[in-house]
Amino acid sequence: MSCIYTVTLNPSLDYTVSVENFRLGYTNRTATELLTVGGKGINVSTVLQNLGLDSTALGFVAGFTGQEAARQLAERGIGNGLIFLDKGLTRINVKLQSVEGTEINGQGPDISGEKFALLEERLSELAAGDVLFLSGSIPASLPEDTYLRMMERLAAGVLTVVDVSGEGLVKTLPLHPFLVKPNHHELGEIFGVTLEQRASVLPYAEKLQEMGARNVLVSMAGQGAVLLAEDGSVFESPVPEGRLVNGVGAGDSMAAGFVAGWLEKRDYEHAFYMGVAAGSATAFSEGLASGEEIRELYRRVREASAD
Ligand SMILES: Nc1ncnc2c1ncn2[C@@H]1O[C@H](COP(=O)(O)OP(=O)(O)OP(=O)(O)O)[C@@H](O)[C@H]1O
Ligand SMILES: [Mg+2]
């Protein structure tokens, strides 16, 4: 049995509030409030858990907010591989629901070389067949090639999933990540082009593959997704019908769904549609999608793709 690990270098506690009639420059009061652990790797772990797959969350936390993050992980049934820093505070990200897309994100603690070495030690324990997700931006206290350095620690045969934008992604390609999942903006940015249609992404997915990626899954928000698989096969899909509720974490859900599907059947088509279903199921729900929501949407997506 393979073990799954996710990395979140800079987790957060997300303080999600709604305020009626929000007014800038005045004291506002919340109508609802929620404090939940966040971060892209932790989103992946949560969706995997919802699909019945155990994983361990790796990363760095600090202070009392870090303790709360670890407590909430345990509550979700996710393995705790977080390294505690001696100084600083896991960040609090304020998300103002009433004013569409408004957030104030904290910086998070500095990660010392000594603590980073502890993470590298953990990584060297992973074995062939294990899966490692590297998700999200690199905090300012670490170099841009941090994911590359982490991948250099891995034993042969560990499957890596890299979900980060720009140079952070490009630098990992020579080490042959199993899956990269740029969205169309991130893919376009790498090559200095604007990509709007599913039909136009394939040449750029091919370039990432030539540069070393094994499977390239390009997500396009409401436009669906395109997979260029390792064996050269190509799958594309529009999004299933549904009402957008909250697109945050759709990309993380898609990466989790793809890997869950791959581990189930070792079949790229199944993995692709599990990714599409998981991404859209999260877009159609308040938080991250449940396992039932994903499986139900998967059935619908497959029926549509058979037409
Ligand atoms: N508005 C939407 N309606 C239906 N499905 C969606 C929508 N937005 C996203 N999805 C599904 O989720 C997948 C991933 O979404 P998206 O391309 O927005 O990822 P992302 O930009 O990496 O998101 P994030 O990094 O915030 O998790 C899409 O390919 C699609 O299948
Ligand atoms: Mg993303």
Q: How many CA atoms, within 13 angstroms, populate the side-chain half-sphere of residue 256?
A: 35
Predicted pLDDT of residue 197: 92
Percent of the chain, pLDDT > 90?
95
pLDDT tier, 1 (very low <50, low <70, confident <90, very high otherwise): confident
Does residue 104 belong to any structural domain of this protein? no
Predicted pLDDT of residue 94: 96
CB 274 within 8 A of CB 294: yes
pLDDT tier, 306 (very low <50, low <70, confident <90, very high otherwise): confident
Predicted pLDDT of residue 26: 96
Does residue 31 belong to any structural domain of this protein? no
Which tens digits make up the pLDDT trace of 221-234?
999 999 999 999 99
User: 286 versus 174: which is more confidently predicted?
Assistant: 174
What does 79-134 look like in DSSP terms, one character per residue? EEEEEEPSSS--EEEEEETTSTTEEE--------HHHHHHHHHHHTT--TT-EEEE
Structural domains of the chain, count: 1
Atom of ligand 1 nearest to the CA of 40: 27
Report field, pTM of the whole predicted structure over 0.95: yes
Atom of ligand 1 nearest to the CA of 184: 17
Tell me the C-alpha to C-alpha distance, in Å, between residue 106 and each of 71, 81, 103, 139, 278: 20, 22, 10, 11, 28
Which residue lies with its CA nearest to atom 12 of ligand 1? 279
**Distance from the alpha carbon of residue 91 to the mean position of ligand 2, in angstroms:** 20
Does residue 102 belong to any structural domain of this protein? no
The tokens for 216 are 């390239």
**Distance from the alpha carbon of residue 182 to the mean position of ligand 2, in angstroms:** 7
Residue 150 makes CB contacts below 8 A (sequence gap 6+) with 7, 119, 120, 123, 134
Does residue 30 belong to any structural domain of this protein? no
Which residue lies with its CA nearest to atom 17 of ligand 1? 221
Ligand nearest to the CA of 184: 1
- Give bridge partners of residue 12 from the DSSP assignment: 38, 91
User: 305 versus 204: which is more confidently predicted?
Assistant: 204
Ligand nearest to the CA of 220: 1
pLDDT tier, 274 (very low <50, low <70, confident <90, very high otherwise): very high
Atom of ligand 1 nearest to the CA of 163: 22
Return the CATH number at 67.
3.40.1190.20
Ligand nearest to the CA of 241: 1
Predicted pLDDT of residue 251: 98
| Rounded distance between C-alpha atoms, residue 190 and residue 213, angstroms | 14
Does residue 97 belong to any structural domain of this protein? no
Predicted pLDDT of residue 256: 98
| Rounded distance between C-alpha atoms, residue 108 and residue 141, angstroms | 10
Does residue 77 belong to any structural domain of this protein? yes
pLDDT tier, 101 (very low <50, low <70, confident <90, very high otherwise): confident
Which residue lies with its CA nearest to atom 3 of ligand 1? 222
pLDDT tier, 267 (very low <50, low <70, confident <90, very high otherwise): very high
What is the extent of the structural domain holding 223?
4-8+39-82+111-306
Residue 181 makes CB contacts below 8 A (sequence gap 6+) with 161, 162, 163, 217, 218, 219, 251, 254, 255, 258
Which tens digits make up the pLDDT trace of 25-45?
999 999 999 999 999 999 999
Predicted pLDDT of residue 36: 97
pLDDT tier, 215 (very low <50, low <70, confident <90, very high otherwise): very high
Predicted pLDDT of residue 226: 98
pLDDT at residue 160 is higher than 80: yes
45, 164, 181, 183, best to mutate for ligand 1 pocket (most atoms within 8 Å of CB): 183
Does residue 89 belong to any structural domain of this protein? no
Give residues (CB < 6 A) around ligand 1.
183, 219-222, 224-225, 239, 244, 247-252, 254, 276, 279-280, 283
Task: Give the residue among 162, 117, 101, 102 at the shortest CA–CA distance from 136.
Answer: 162
Helix axes 291-306, 268-283, angle to 10 degrees: 120
Compute the average pLDDT of residues 33-61.
Answer: 98
Which residue lies with its CA nearest to atom 18 of ligand 1? 221
**Distance from the alpha carbon of residue 121 to the mean position of ligand 1, in angstroms:** 34
Residues acting as catalytic residues: 252
pLDDT at residue 307 is higher than 80: no
pLDDT at residue 100 is higher than 80: no
Does residue 75 belong to any structural domain of this protein? yes
Predicted pLDDT of residue 97: 85
pLDDT tier, 106 (very low <50, low <70, confident <90, very high otherwise): very high
Residue 112 makes CB contacts below 8 A (sequence gap 6+) with 85, 141
**Distance from the alpha carbon of residue 251 to the mean position of ligand 2, in angstroms:** 5
pLDDT at residue 60 is higher than 90: yes
Atom of ligand 1 nearest to the CA of 249: 27
